[in-house]
Structure 1
Amino acid sequence: MLSPKKIVSDIFKEEPNIENVMFVGCGASMADLYPAKYFLEKTAKKLRISISTANEFNYDTPVSLGKTSIVIVASLGGTTPESVEATKVASKAGAHVISVTNSEGSPLTEAAEFVIVHGFHESYAAKVAKMKNVLILAIEILQKSEGYDHYDEMMDALSKIDDLINESVKTVTPSAKVFADKYKNDKLIYVLSSGATLDVAYSTASFLFMEMQWIAAPTLNSGEYFHGPFEMTEKDVPYLLFMNDGPTRHLDARALTFLQRFDAKVTTIDAKDYGLASIASDNVIDFLNPMLLTGVMRVYAEELAIARNHPLTKRRYMWKLEY
């Protein structure tokens, strides 16, 4: 199987003038694409970047889709119908399609030009293998397209992130149990973050809380919190805040100060607590936050499920009926 670097090299040999990169997926897989999208938005000077939920891509297809497009489509099991269809739409338009999945030979791979098969079940770090592989694709695309000044720093940090995640989760259980006991009876939890970690907040809210625990969970950008949503802040209202180590930390810290000022029930999961800066320089640290915080949050979710006597696999509708 080709590496992300070889895949990108082969694409640029065929089409040196790549103009846009489109990330497509559904649910948690779309959220896993977000850090790569954020990375390219912040670092690319010429490339056009977009992210779409798959059926939006299928029914309202970008007019720029074509031979100068790279389309990265992700689905963990490789069977999500909307994402499978997106690979066909992109391929038919002449785009260079990369499928990213945990399931080799799945329907997602059939119309793709290139396939990346990643881990998932092996460890807590493997839970973010999809996110990591897509970020590497984005880095290689930038490097090939216009060059990336911090390429070596980024690749060095990525080579160490798995070990950091797996070491970090060994210390998390006590605080995760406290969180679980404190929030187990809540019917609503607001989830906040910023920067590259925004969709970690979104995936935590939409999937770990709403899908897997049936807890209502609005997602808020820490920077947008003060532009409307902070009016909901009152004593003992439940919040979960992912705090970044890097350029957008100020946004998270400002939100935390306000939440504490009005005695909201707030829990923070902070990348600084797990030593992200020990493996990542200031130039690249922002883009590593989502992987570390996702790995840690998984332990929190597992403990919450135990405290609520509600397994993470329990569903009302998914896998139960046609929709």
Structure 2
Amino acid sequence: MAADIDEQPAGYERLLSAEYATPIARLAGIVAERRPRHVVFTARGTSDHAALYGAYLSEIRLGLPAGLASPSVVTLFDARPDLSDALVVAVSQSGGSPDLTEVLRAARDSGALTLAVTNAPDSPLAATAELSVDIAAGHERAVAATKTYTAELLALLMLVEGIRAGDGALPAEERRALADLPELAARTLTDPVPDQLAPRYRFASQLVTTGRGYAYPTAREAALKLMETSYLPALAFSGADLLHGPLAMTDPEVPVLAVVGSGPGGRSMGEVLPRLGERRADVVVVGSAEIEGTTRLVVPEVDERYAPLLDILPLQRLALALALTRGENPDAPRGLKKVTATR
């Protein structure tokens, strides 16, 4: 898991190279030409959080309604929604989930434009889709996904921004900003604080993660990483939903990881953090925002769209360090396999 985490800056650089960026731009141009009226994502597990990020991008950057499909609608209930005006995007590191493949097949039969985002370009999922994006993350050693998750994020970002451009070609300013990501990621991974925090949570019985907007997928992915590597019950809430009831469970014995950036989503967390303070919750802030009186996992400030590519890095390292501190093996969590086949 440590090796997979450390390879992410190189993975960003590889995906941004012409070898992979050019095909993504070409596919973005095809999607833009087809002019879908809405976007439907389908995914499972870690990839579901990448898909949620894609949904935020689609609605904010493209102005298209977007949502996450329930694969069981197709696979268990044998329903066939009319997706004739939709772009249907399946996100899967392995491309081997039968339910996602079946959703794409049904969507394509109904007239949808289908696209697979996967680390396995020869997989059944990629073969079923009309279009396919190779996230080029390379072999992932650990069961817990790290570098494939961030590669999915970057691929979706490049795809959506290419669609927004119309012809798939990113504006020069966008290209320059993305080109900084590998170096910023490498810098983020040098922060010693995640390793220092692990003993603080060694005996925690539960934990809460929270964020809003683009940060919400990060909160959900961080919770999953903690659960699957340390077996620590972790509940993820949007900052808004946290105030609608779950706030009551927070107290000095329930750690809270709050993802707080410098954009609108981060600023909105200004309503949440004081309420957590009233509960005397043990809060650690993750991101570029400076919050007085809190422990921080510091991340370089970038456009809020890019922040999920950096914010998750110290949280992956925290999950790794906490698993080791609790005497667990993060490379092979009990009961889990790299490819989970569901229907």
Q: Does 1:274 align with 2:299?
A: yes
Deviations 1:129-174 (A, max 9, x none): 11110122122223329x99x955444322222221122111x2x2
> Structure 1 pair 104/322, CA: closer, same or farther in 2 (3 Å)?
closer
Partner of 1:3: 23
Q: Does 1:73 align with 2:71?
A: no
Q: Does 1:104 align with 2:112?
A: no
Matched residue of 1:31: which SS?
helix
Instruction: Kindly state the Cα deviation for residue 62 of structure 1 after the two structures are TM-superposed.
Output: 7.3
Partner of 1:139: 161
- Specify which of 134, 155, 163 is matched with residue 117 of structure 1: 134
Between the aligned partners of 1:83 and 1:162, the Cα distance in structure 2 is 31
Gaps of 5+ in 2: 1-19, 141-145, 290-297
Instruction: Kindly state the Cα deviation for residue 56 of structure 1 after the two structures are TM-superposed.
Output: 4.2
Partner of 1:157: 177
Q: Does 1:265 align with 2:282?
A: yes
> Structure 1 pair 62/322, CA: closer, same or farther in 2 (3 Å)?
closer
Partner of 1:209: 226
Partner of 1:242: 259
Contact 1:98 1:115 in 2 (8 A): yes
Instruction: Kindly state the Cα deviation for residue 259 of structure 1 after the two structures are TM-superposed.
Output: 2.3
Q: Does 1:306 align with 2:331?
A: no
Partner of 1:294: 312
Instruction: Kindly state the Cα deviation for residue 313 of structure 1 after the two structures are TM-superposed.
Output: 3.1
Between the aligned partners of 1:104 and 1:184, the Cα distance in structure 2 is 39
- Specify which of 151, 156, 167 is matched with residue 129 of structure 1: 151
Residues 6-85 of structure 1 aligned to structure 2 (within 5 Å): 6-13=26-33, 15=34, 17-45=35-63, 47-56=64-73, 58=75, 59=77, 63-66=81-84, 68-85=85-102
Between the aligned partners of 1:169 and 1:62, the Cα distance in structure 2 is 44
Instruction: Kindly state the Cα deviation for residue 314 of structure 1 after the two structures are TM-superposed.
Output: 3.3
Contact 1:125 1:295 in 2 (8 A): no
Partner of 1:229: 246
Between the aligned partners of 1:276 and 1:263, the Cα distance in structure 2 is 28
Between the aligned partners of 2:269 and 2:196, the Cα distance in structure 1 is 22
> Structure 1 pair 286/239, CA: closer, same or farther in 2 (3 Å)?
same
> Structure 1 pair 126/76, CA: closer, same or farther in 2 (3 Å)?
closer
Identity of aligned residues (%): 21
Between the aligned partners of 2:80 and 2:182, the Cα distance in structure 1 is 35
Contact 1:12 1:144 in 2 (8 A): yes
Between the aligned partners of 1:194 and 1:117, the Cα distance in structure 2 is 29
Gaps of 5+ in 1: 278-284
Contact 1:125 1:166 in 2 (8 A): no
TM-score, length-scaled by structure 1: 0.84
Partner of 1:281: none
Between the aligned partners of 1:308 and 1:225, the Cα distance in structure 2 is 28
> Structure 1 pair 40/300, CA: closer, same or farther in 2 (3 Å)?
same
Between the aligned partners of 2:177 and 2:128, the Cα distance in structure 1 is 33
Structure 1 letter corresponding to 2:193: S
Deviations 1:54-81 (A, max 9, x none): 3346558674401x32111111111122
Deviations 1:256-283 (A, max 9, x none): 2332343222222123433224xxxxxx
Matched residue of 1:110: which SS?
helix
Partner of 1:184: 202
Contact 2:261 2:301 in 1 (8 A): no
- Larger RCO of the pair (alpha carbons < 8 Å, separation 6+): 2
TM-score, length-scaled by structure 2: 0.80
Contact 1:189 1:217 in 2 (8 A): yes
Partner of 1:89: 106
- Specify which of 236, 246, 253 is matched with residue 219 of structure 1: 236
Equivalent pairs, count: 307
> Structure 1 pair 242/11, CA: closer, same or farther in 2 (3 Å)?
closer
> Structure 1 pair 65/83, CA: closer, same or farther in 2 (3 Å)?
same
> Structure 1 pair 247/122, CA: closer, same or farther in 2 (3 Å)?
farther
Between the aligned partners of 1:179 and 1:103, the Cα distance in structure 2 is 35
> Structure 1 pair 194/105, CA: closer, same or farther in 2 (3 Å)?
same
Between the aligned partners of 1:153 and 1:125, the Cα distance in structure 2 is 25
> Structure 1 pair 75/200, CA: closer, same or farther in 2 (3 Å)?
same
Contact 2:97 2:341 in 1 (8 A): no
Structure 1 letter corresponding to 2:156: V
